[in-house]
Amino acid sequence: MHGWLTTENFAPTITDGIIELQGVDPKILLQAFAGDLNRVALAGSESLNNIVNIPTIPKSLGWPYVKLYYSAFFYAHAILRAWGRSPSYLRTSDLIRVKQVFQLYTLSPPFKLQTGQYLLSAGSNADSLFIAPMNSGGGTHEAIWRIFQTELSDLQSRVIAAPYTSSDKGAISGALNSAVNLLTNHGANTAWPSAMRNDIQYRQTEGLWFPYTGRKKTVDFARHVTDILCDTKKTEDVLACQNDNLSRFQAACSFVVVLARQMLSDLSQVGGAKSFLKFGQSDFERSLTTNT
């Protein structure tokens, strides 16, 4: 998306205090989203594949949990891009072309175009791009989880209004509600996965670092990750978790990873042999099998 903003042509307008770039080439815009989707999905897969069992340290789970979190973080990015949403950290230099086009049209941007977090959203026909600042506070990680939670809640509303059967609406809406509750710690913190990762990584909580106080073993954790990589773990399996904080954190991260991998698999099947996804996660994971 950085490259798209600095090279493509568009005409600016302002819609409800948000920048709208009109007259864009849908094919080029979708290619930008597709390229970023592959990039972050690859990072999610590599993080997941880097979780290994350490037989000589049977309770060493600090880094494995952090890696699972990062896999979920990257896969959350991939899901959002599949939905036409690109949370992006833009430098002032990335926004020079947007500034120049506003000046050309003798318009003033509705907000200051400076280094910061922005949400780039494709229009319904990908012939426009909306740019809005992300002023929710916190860093990049907190912003991603807030947007992800918002998109899940919006999706739930759209499902309820959709012409589905009552039973289908109930099942889908219920699953989405469980996902939002899991990812926000029952609504207590919209960036809860990031808060848990910070506690584990920087405060060394949950007994995952030496001297170990937890009861979990790396072999059990590795088996859980293997099930995800083998695509035998389903979203309903992890959404049912109602245990302690650490178990729910594992379930929340796993839900995002499993959902993303299922989505990418479905999109790849729809795209067929010419799908852009054949250059992404699936190609990377095939190379791992070939090289072992």
- List the chain residues with pLDDT less than 50: none
pLDDT for the residue 22: 97
pLDDT for the residue 20: 97
- Cα dist. 262→34, 136, 166, 212, 276 in Å? 17, 30, 24, 34, 16
pLDDT for the residue 153: 94
Q: Which tokens belong to 106?
A: 């003798």
Query: 202-207 contacts: CB < 8 A, separation 24 or more?
Result: 204/62, 206/65, 206/245, 206/246
pLDDT for the residue 54: 67
**Per-residue buried b or exposed e for 197-233, using 16+ beta carbons within 10 Å of the residue's own CB:** bbebbeeeebbbbeebeeebebeebbebbeebbeeeb
CA 72/CA 193 separation, integer angstroms: 9
CA 155/CA 157 separation, integer angstroms: 5
Q: Which tokens belong to 4?
A: 């798209």
Listing DSSP states for the chain in one string gives -HHHHHH---EEEEETTEEEEES--HHHHHHHHHHHHHHHHHHHHHHHHT----TTSTT--HHHHHHHHHHHHHHHHHHHHHTTEEEEEE-GGGGHHHHHHHHHTT---SS---SEEEEEEE-TTSSEEEEEE--S-S-HHHHHHHHHHHHHHHHHHHHHHSS--HHHHHHHHHHHHHHHHHHTTTTT-TTHHHHHHHHHHHS--TT-SSSP-----HHHHHHHHHHHHTT---HHHHHT--S-HHHHHHHHHHHHHHHHHHHHHHHHHHHGGG-GGGGTHHHHHHHHHHT-
Give the pTM: 0.94
pLDDT for the residue 289: 79
For residue 100, the number of C-alpha atoms closer than 13 Å in the C-beta half-sphere is 12
C-beta of residue 68 within 8 angstroms of C-beta of residue 250: yes
